[in-house]
Structures are given as C-alpha cells and as structure tokens.
Chain A
C-alpha cells in the first residue's frame, strides 16, 4: 500500500521564489548602477564591491550566531540587494569605512536583530543611510563632479584604491548636490532664480551626468528599471505612482504660490534620490503595506513627507527619513486600510441585498 502523507493543496506552484524576486530587482538596478560606474569611475566600483562584500560577511556571521541555514538564507539575495541599494546611494568617493559601517548597520541592526528576512520594520538600506548621514555628515555629503571612467583626468584603479582607502591625495572637484546647494543658498537669502541659474537642467537629471550618489545619476535608467519590475510583476505600481503624484502635486502648488522660494516639481522628482526611492526602496515588500489601498496611502504619505523634509527641515535630502517614517506607519496602515471582503461591506457585515437594489 502506497502511503502518501496528507498535506493540503494546491499541488501546483508558480515558478516564483524569494531569490528570483531579489535577482530580478538587482537586474533592474543594473543599468543605473553600471551608468554610475561609468560616470564616477573606479572609486564607485571599489566602494560598491566593499559594501556588498562586507554585507555578505555580516549576514553570514549573523546567521551563524542565530544558528540558521547559511546556504538557504545568505544566498537568498536579500542581503546583497540591501547592500546594493545602500552602495548606490553613497557619494561615489566615500571612504571604505563608510561602506563597511553602513553594511554593518544595514544587515545587523536594520535586519538581523529583528529576526532576519521578512521580519524587519524599517528598510535596512535606509536605516544605514540615515545613520551614516547623521553620524558622518561631511563624508556623506561630499559629492564629485562626474569624471567619466578611462577619460582624461579620471582616477586609475590604483588612484581609486588610494582615494577609497584614504592613503593618497587625488585632485578632483568636490561639490555639493543640487538639493544641498538649494537648501544652503536659500538659507542665506539667495533667491531661487539665481541659485538655479545654470543649474536647472531637467534633461541632465533625467539622462544622468549630474552630481549625485553612485546610482542616482540617471533618473531615466531608474524609471526604466522600475517599469520593468512593474511589468515583471515583481512590484506593483501603487507606491511609485502615488508617491510621484503626491510629490509632484505639492511641489507644483508651492512653486505656483512662490516660485522664488520653492523649486518646481522637476527638481523634486528628477534630482536626488526620488526615483531610486520610489521604485526600488519604498516598494520593499517587507516594510510597505500589504494591500493595494494601503500602498497608495503609503505612497501619498511618502511623497508629502519627502517634500516637507526637503523644504522645511534641516536636511536637504528627505527621502530616506521619509521612508523610515512611513515604514513606522506601515503596521498602522495595515491595521486600518483593508480590502473589502467579497460579499461583505467595508465594515465586515454581510452585504444587504435589499439595500443595494
């Protein structure tokens, strides 16, 4: 007699896995990342490698301490993706220890202490980015003019090693990001029109070639990657679209009220971390709401918070703070924003036919 242990169906499964999702997100990030390597050269590549490598080491150590399967979890792709997102949001020429400390914060404090994959409340990469920004403001806001790899004046591999490991002294034009400049100059009473003079170039922000973190240079490549993920059903459109709409609308309203104080929606949407965040970080499934409606609420909140923090708070780049704040709101959103169950009213009572017809 063949005895087959009883178990519940279904016996078919879609060909999906956590690792596959993570790998596809990485694939979607690859064009923007590769373009960042091209713009910022060897230092960016070295920094990226250090971040990923150290994240993997932290992940393995944590799994060993927690006595969990290293083969199953270390290679599920989640640690590498976290490190990837952190790395491309670092300034391209940041020193090596920024990468290592960042990875440690992301993996150990951001993820593993909560219980590992799927358990964390906050997006680990954003936890690390905010921690670094607060602790090492100088290193985290020193950006570089793009120096295309292999071009004249670009650092060679050896130059880059010394830049990242802080041994040598390489001559390059350091600079502040656009959002930094706007914040500082507005604070000193310079009208916006003057600040933007020669700097306002949406085409550049969208195509790339702007002063930015490693992977935030080209909004276009990030958008294309994000759209690919939406069509590949790895992420849904709810968060990206609602965030972009909320941020665009509030920026436009204030810009119309006083154009000398408030930059327009183009600045907010296409410069800085916005596109990276809305497509790749805010959509992190673990830390965003589970229902479509909840995700829209999340996105609107995120868009508004990004604007509020950028405009009225002390930090020029509000994206990472806004994401953490919305992550904290997620359990609350999930509790109160729920889909209407089939055959029931929003409150959960069975539909009343006589009322409806």
Chain B
C-alpha cells in the first residue's frame, strides 16, 4: 500500500528495547485504589455508591453525565472508603473527585451482561454497550469511544483506522497487546467496523514493531477487509490527523475531524477493550501500562487495575534503583510530569516512566539562533521560533495570527532545538491564555445579551404599562362620559365604542 508523506516529523531514539520483549504481567491487587471520577474528556461521572458500601468487581460506581462522558466501574470487590478530592495525574496537581476503594482481596465479580450477539446486534446496541462499559480512547486522549463509534450516523464513513503506531519512545504496551492478544484485538476491530458501518479497516503499525506487525498480519490473513500497514517510525506518526494523511494522502481541514474525510481513528488498545465489553460483558477496569526508564528495576508491561497508585505499581513491579530525575505518566514527548507518587493509574495512562538524569539531558537554554530546525520538523508546518519570540514579547494575539492554536504540542520542535528553548511550554501557555480569553469573551457576550434582553424586556414592560395606564384613563373617561351623558338607547353602543377607541 502506498504511504503518503507527512509534513515534518522527527526521528526519535525509541528506547523501546527496555520492555519490548517482555510479556505482559498481571499486577496483583494493590492495598488501595484511588479511582478519579473524571478520567476522560467531557463531564465527570457522578458517584452512585456511598461511603461504606461494599462493591463488586465490575459494578457501576459512577454513572456518566451528559453526552460526552463515561461511567466508571469498580476494578475489584471491596469497600468504599472515601469519596472526596484527591490529586489527579495532571501536572497541576489539582484534586478531582475521587472514589477510594479498599479491596477485600476476593476479586468477586458482579453479574455481567450477556455477550452481544454480533450477528444481530445493531450499531446503536454496540455503541450503547461500549458507552456503558466506560470505554475511552486509550491512546491517551481519553475521548469517550462510544461517541466516536456513533459517527457513522452523521458522516459518510469509508474506513476505520486502528492506531497501533505507538510513536512515543519507551512505550510498548500496544506492541505487546498486538502480539499477545491478537485474536481478541482483531475481534474488537471487527465490532468497531460493524458499529461504524465501514467496509474496510487499516491497522497502522510503525516499522519498529515487526513482531506485532507479523502477528496482526497472520491473524487477518483471511480477511480481505482488514489490512495491516507499515508506517515509518517518525514522530508524531500516531497523531490522528497525520496518520490519516500518511494512509490516505488527505489532509483534515483545520478545526475539522478526520470523519470529514470519511475516516475514524481508534487506538488498538481501545479495540481490545471493546472486545471485552462486547464478548465478555466486562467494563473497562484495567489496562496495560508500560513501566520503564532506567531507574525502574524491572521494566515491563503490567496489566494494572484502574486506580492503582503509581507508587504501588512501581513497588509491585520491583521498585526503583534510586531517585528518578523525572517521573512521567505517558510517553516522554507528550507525557505529564507526576505531582507525586500517590496519583493513580487512569484509563488513559499508557506508561509510567522513571527517568535518570542521563536520559533527560537537561541543558542550558541559549538564545534562538534561528536555525529553523523547528520549522523543518513541525508536523503542522508552523514557525515555532516565530511563535515563541512573539509569546516571549507578550504578543499572544500575534502568535494566534500565525497559528499557535493549530499546534498539537507534540514537542518535535522542542526535541530538536539546539538552543534548548522550552517551546512547548510557551505554546501551551499561549493556548491556555487564548482559551481563557475566549471564555471571558463568551461570558462577556452572554452578559451583554442578557443585559440587552433585559433592557428590551424593560422597555416592553414600560410600554405595556403605559398602554395599561392609557387604557385605564380612556376607560375612566369613557365611563365618566357615559355617566354624564344620559344613556340614550340609540346612541349608547356607538358612544361607548368611540370612547374606548384608543389610539
């Protein structure tokens, strides 16, 4: 199959060999689970259990709220210890509503729904099941998957793209999944195809994962509708819009979605979660997490319950050899620094990295020499150096006019910069303040409309009041006239009409 060129991109040092050959290991149940009620993009889920309740594995503990939201299920059986604020895996270190569960070690399942019969299941039934299972995009974006499985209703879709690129260094969880759970993953993909109503699926795998490629190709050998495609190992190949461009040559319009091109992209781990929901009735309560970095004693891929504190995960994996220079959740390019070790694994946590200083190469920031390396690698064809200099001079609007909002924060520019300028930091800052500006402006507009409406209403009321008053006066006048003029049987009606004829 022809692979189309994508703009820019950087060749990264993959560092996947630390974990690429290690089979997935199932993590034991930790002593405590912290389950944030917002693990997805959209509205947080609402708790439906109370402090002290005993819950079973797979039981719904928080239901979704609104169209873009996802429910949360108990990862094991145990007792609800606390429902309250707890630090989320987010660089801000801000707390979110979190349910703390003390496992009882019995790991007792709740009653699960029957598998869906794929012969008869409708698109809506599949989407509903996926929605009820709390499945979100597991590549890290955590967008509720059911919403994306329902796009067939609104768009004329041609194909499903399964993202198995895994372009972030260190991470190998998708690689292992494709090798070890090939059949189930492919079954999940077929379910997704059915839900979307597309005849064709492409599974994109970067060339640095030959074993996963082989396994998937073998599994799909007899299926003419699913094709496995090697894409170059060029960061950020796993970016949705770029992957679609590499596969179809088509460019998603700014502010648009790949569905505009007839393509829907789902992560390969999401496909596996869909399989479990459809064929086993299981909600999303665990995921495979790559634990890696040179400070980790036993790097590997661990199937971990959602809510497992990072500290427990690292401990159960074998611990650390020292103090890491940097602790990350996700990959080293776009991952988040962890505020502390207590934060839990969530549905979108693809990796936990504990990096040594030699892995990070902290360097002095020098002035920009305008070398243009960042321009060459930017996958969105922006001018990072120009945007950064505008933001440095507090010209956020200037950065906006040259496209800072189109920046995907992939970090390629930052990666190649010989002056080590924290470009992404600048762009995220600018995007944040632009967003705030937007919100402020929208609020202002709303205030304005409200005020205007009120003024209009007032005016109307006043008019109505005036009219009422006038009515009343006219009525009075008419009445007095009627009283003063002796009623004449012939003229009465006429005069009354006249008197009430108010202009």
Measured CB to CB, the residues of A under 8 A from B are: 1-18, 20-21, 72, 76, 78, 116-119, 233, 236, 285-288, 290-292, 295, 334, 338-344, 348, 350-353
Contact = CB atoms under 8 A, between A and B. Distances in A.
A350 B370 contact: no
B359 to A, nearest CB: 8
B1 interface: no
B186 interface: no
Which of B367, B402, B414 gathers most chain A CB within 10 Å?
A: B367
A287 B383 CA distance: 16
B248 interface: no
Given A290-B372, A350-B255, A9 B333 contact: yes
B371 interface: yes
Contacts of B261: 353
Contacts of A11: 326, 328, 332-333, 335, 355, 360
A76 B368 CA distance: 13
A6 B370 contact: no
A17 B169 contact: no
B361 A15 contact: yes
A350 B254 contact: yes
A14 B415 contact: yes
Contact of A10 (B91, B251, B334, B340): B334
Contacts of A334: 386
Given A4-B339, A18-B366, A118-B369, A9 B334 contact: yes
Given A1-B340, A236-B376, A351-B251, 4 more contacts: A8-B424, A8-B425, A20-B418, A343-B380
A1 B254 contact: no
A324 B360 CA distance: 40
B335 A236 contact: no
B320 to A, nearest CB: 11
A50 B251 CA distance: 56
Interface string B341-356: 1100000000000010
B254 A290 contact: no
A12 B333 contact: yes
A342 B416 contact: no
A2 B375 contact: no
Nearest to A12: B332
Contact of B380 (A15, A20, A342): A342
Contact of B418 (A5, A8, A10, A16): A16
B332 A9 contact: yes
Interface in B417-444: 417-420, 422, 424-425, 428
A10 B414 contact: yes
A76 B366 contact: yes
Contact of A292 (B369, B375, B379): B375
Which of A10, A12, A344, A352 gathers most chain B CB within 10 Å?
A: A10
Contacts of B380: 341-343
Nearest to A13: B361
Given A16-B418, A341-B380, A351 B253 contact: yes
Given A16-B416, A21-B418, A119 B376 contact: no
**B interface: dominant SS:** loop
A1 B418 contact: no
Contacts of B494: none
Contacts of B251: 342-343, 351
A11 B370 CA distance: 22
Contact of B335 (A9, A18, A116): A9
A193 B314 CA distance: 82
Contacts of A286: 369-370
A12 B369 contact: no
B403 A341 contact: yes
Given A342-B254, A353-B261, A2 B337 contact: no
Contact of B370 (A15, A116, A285, A342): A285
A17 B255 CA distance: 35
23 contacts: A2-B327, A2-B341, A3-B340, A4-B327, A4-B339, A9-B333, A12-B13, A12-B332, A17-B363, A18-B369, A72-B364, A285-B370, A286-B369, A286-B370, A288-B370, A290-B372, A292-B376, A343-B256, A344-B403, A348-B403, A351-B253, A351-B256, A353-B253
Interface in B366-392: 366-373, 375-376, 379-383, 385-386
A342 B406 contact: yes
B337 A13 contact: no
B360 A14 contact: no
B241 interface: yes
A4 B375 contact: no
Contact of A236 (B332, B369, B372, B383): B372
B238 interface: no
B256 to A, nearest CB: 7
Contact of A13 (B339, B341, B415): B415
A316 B340 CA distance: 68
Contact of B339 (A3, A285, A341): A3
Contacts of A291: 372, 375, 383
Given A7-B337, A12-B169, A76-B366, A344 B406 contact: yes
B418 A342 contact: no
Given A8-B422, A15-B361, A339 B381 contact: yes
Interface string B70-102: 000000000000000000000111000000000
Identify the 8 closest CB pairs spanning chains A and B, nearest first: A10-B411, A8-B425, A343-B254, A118-B367, A6-B91, A285-B371, A351-B253, A350-B254
Nearest to A291: B375
Contacts of B416: 14, 16
B294 interface: no
Interface string B235-270: 000000100000000011111100011000000000
Nearest to B245: A342
A350 B375 contact: no
B23 to A, nearest CB: 26
A327 B425 CA distance: 30
Given A4-B338, A21-B418, A350 B332 contact: no
A343 B260 contact: no
Contacts of B92: 6
Given A12-B360, A118-B367, A341-B403, A18 B419 contact: yes
Nearest to A8: B425
Nearest to A10: B411
A116 B386 CA distance: 18
Contact of A350 (B256, B334, B369): B256
Given A285-B371, A285-B372, A2 B425 contact: no
Contacts of B341: 1-2
A234 to B, nearest CB: 8
A118 to B, nearest CB: 4
A338 B376 contact: no
A207 B369 CA distance: 33
Nearest to B418: A16
Contacts of B49: none
A17 B381 contact: no
B415 A10 contact: yes
Contacts of B333: 9-12
Nearest to B427: A8
B332 A10 contact: yes
A352 B251 CA distance: 10
B370 A290 contact: yes
